[in-house]
Structure 1
Amino acid sequence: MPPISQRKLVVFDFDGTLVDSMPGIVATARAVMHRHGWTDEELGDMSRLVGPPFPQAYSMVYGLSEAEAQQVTEEYRAIYAGLGRDGWPLFEGMDALLGDLKAAGKLLGTASSKREFLLRRGLETNGVLDLFDFPMAKLSDHGDSKVAALGRALAAAGVDGSEAVMVGDRRFDAEAATSCGVECVGVLYGATAPRSELESAGCAAIADTIDDLRRILLG
């Protein structure tokens, strides 16, 4: 397997990796959960919602039934979709890194638990959609996954796992990568997970900053 800096395809997670969406996600989810009678004390650390797919995240974190999670998700999306770019700004320096990766001849993809139309909107409103060769995300809330999105990126690029690297901020990214035979680089600059989570998930490298990530991906 070639060094990470020599991999042909770089696949990014979206939330917490490309964009600083945690404040918008948490604020929107908090408002919706308040409507449903949850207190701030009961909600606790809502950053736990960043990473797992919706609507399942509400069941995983708060024990909501499938029907309750779906209802909360629909209300959440009605608000979140209207936030615009302020709800999902690129991390500072990410646009330059993406440009450098393209200049180095890399193919760029995404594998996100977001629905595909929201992913594309997020990339487009940040002015970077054209940099991505294979922007992949969930096609539906049921019967699709980050593993499937990553698999579609690999297939579209015509590469196997040894020629690709996944970049993500949560264990879900590393687990999806492992399922597809891809190594994962974990990132900490979004403060969505502790280093221990990424280490336990088997990340091949961990970047504290965008500059760290550039060194890992480009050498």
Structure 2
Amino acid sequence: MNTILFDLDGTLIDSSEGIIKCVLYTLDFYGIKEPDTAKLYRFIGPPLSESFERYYGFSHEKAYEAVQKYRERYNTTGIFECKLYPGVEKCIRTLKEQGYRIGMASSKPEVSCKRILEHFGILPLFDDVVGATFDGTRDKKSEILKEVMHRWSHIPKSEMCLIGDTMFDVNGAKELGIACLAVSFGFGDVKEMKEAGVIGVCDSMEELPGMLKK
């Protein structure tokens, strides 16, 4: 295994503040009041349009429109309302020194992923960054991973491992036949991910290089 693919939200960054504020901004536009902000953590991970449809009954067309409204606030303010989890930069630098190829596979738009990594000064540590497209043609985790495999077609999927924090990561990796290692400090259900057959669960970024060696 020589190629490590990182999810972004809930794996490398705690993006909850920005995402929740932007969802509230969007719901307010449609006259929807959500007093229980804890419910909005469900928006972290899956494609936004799917969440607006599933949790607020939006039609496919209205959900697409809602994502554009969400991005009004997100692209100017919400994108940087986040923080790196402890030990992220040191972990990635260690993996690079050990000879791993480092990529990103996120359901967040690719441009946004690059802006965030650049904001924290770690974009140069990544060999490639693969994210969603703004038009929705590539937003599911399996579609993101297919694009990774297209760009890195010379690398066997047996050499790849996805590091993620939710079942969207686990299921996407499973669909493509890629190993998945879960982190316990993100937004997913650790018990559910264990039962789904992840190769391990990492409790901190400091642990990751050692776990990958095993």
**TM-score of the superposition, structure 2-length normalised?**
0.90
Q: Which amino acid aligns with 1:23?
A: E
User: Could you tell me the percent identity over the aligned residues?
Assistant: 29
Q: Using a 3 Å threshold, how does the CA distance of structure 1 residues 117 and 164 change in structure 2: closer, same or farther?
A: same
Say whether 1:36 aligns with 2:11: no
The one-letter code of the counterpart of 2:200 is A
CA, structure 1 residues 99+59, in 2 after alignment: closer, same or farther (shift >3 Å)?
A: same
Within the alignment, does 1:156 sit opposite 2:170 as a pair?
no
**Are the aligned partners of 2:166 and 2:188 in contact in 1 as well (CA < 8 Å)?**
yes
Tell me the secondary structure at the aligned position of residue 98 of structure 1: helix
What are the equivalent positions in structure 2 for 1:196-215 lying under 5 Å apart?
196-215=191-210
Aligned-residue CA RMSD in angstroms?
Answer: 1.9
Corresponding residue to 2:62 among 34, 45, 68? 68
Give distance in 2, aligned partners of 1:179 and 1:214: 25
- Conserved? CA contact 2:25–2:73, under 8 Å: no
Alignment pair present for 1:165 and 2:161: yes
Shift in Å at residue 43 of structure 1?
Answer: 6.4
Contact 1:8 1:164 in 2 (8 A): yes
Count of aligned pairs: 212
Q: How does 1:1-219 map to 2 (within 5 A)?
A: 7-41=1-35, 45-83=39-77, 86-144=80-138, 145-157=140-152, 158-190=154-186, 192-219=187-214
User: Could you state the TM-score of these two structures normalised by the residue count of structure 1?
Assistant: 0.88
Q: Distance in 2 between matches of 1:114 and 1:160?
A: 25
Q: CA deviation at 1:9?
A: 0.2
Structure 1: 5+ residue runs without aligned partners?
Answer: 1-6
**Letter of the 2:168 counterpart:** F
> Kindly tell me: are residues 125 and 218 of structure 1, through their superposed partners in 2, closer, same or farther at Cα, counting changes over 3 Å?
farther
